[in-house]
Amino acid sequence: LDMFLNTNVTSKEDAQIATGDGTGQNLTGLVTSAPAYTAAAAGITDANIKDLVRKMRTAIVKNRGSKYSPNFVAANSEVIDQYILKKDGNNNYMFDAATGTIGGLLIVEDNNLADNTLVVGDSRFGTIYEKGGVVLSKVYAGDQAIEDMMTLKARKRLLFLIRNVDKTGFLKCTDIDAALATLATAP
């Protein structure tokens, strides 16, 4: 029972940190906090995810001095596979999966993120605050006492914070395919 509750609480935490919408008791997650990236025509031949990640990184650091140093790209396994499995005209893999990076940024696989979506950012400006432990509540709801059943509720206090002033240290792309098509377009 302990493993079941801890696994489910951890799974819920991960989902909320990644995609929480900030309403009610939901956290304001990474995707909700990060501003949207708008790709610009760049004339990149056969634009790929590495090109997109580098352009997003440049958009974060340009005109901000040395404040930000993006160090991660978060995406689900489908997006990561799209990057790692990219081949050249001779059917050779273009990128080395062993490095665990895309354009110098650490790959963070998070399958809570939607397909065709990725986030680039500086992890120093996203903080998780948590109150230790999980509170467990037991209740009988409806006819559960008669049926020898019980409802268990696990609760954890948690906050994921990207300060408003630091949201510019992150960018999200919610349509990778469209962004790649724009990057391939001549300026």
pLDDT at 143: 87
pLDDT at 141: 84
pLDDT band of residue 2 (cuts 50, 70, 90) is: confident
Phi, psi of 177 (to 5 degrees): -60, -45
Euclidean distance between CA atoms 25 and 153, whole angstroms? 15
Euclidean distance between CA atoms 151 and 112, whole angstroms? 27
pLDDT at 49: 96
pLDDT band of residue 74 (cuts 50, 70, 90) is: very high
Could you tell me which of 10, 11, 28 has the C-alpha nearest to residue 19?
28
Reported as a single tens digit per residue, the pLDDT across 161-185 is 999 999 999 999 999 999 999 999 9
Percent of the chain predicted with pLDDT > 70: 100
Residue 1 has pLDDT above 80, yes or no: no
Could you tell me which of 97, 103, 107, 94 has the C-alpha nearest to residue 58?
103
Arithmetic mean of pLDDT over the chain: 93
**Structure tokens, 94:** 């273009």
pLDDT at 179: 98
Reported as a single tens digit per residue, the pLDDT across 110-141 is 999 999 999 999 999 999 999 887 777 888 88
Could you tell me which of 26, 53, 19 has the C-alpha nearest to residue 39?
53
pLDDT at 155: 83
Reported as a single tens digit per residue, the pLDDT across 12-47 is 999 999 999 999 999 999 999 999 999 999 999 999
pLDDT at 169: 97
- The structure's pTM equals 0.87
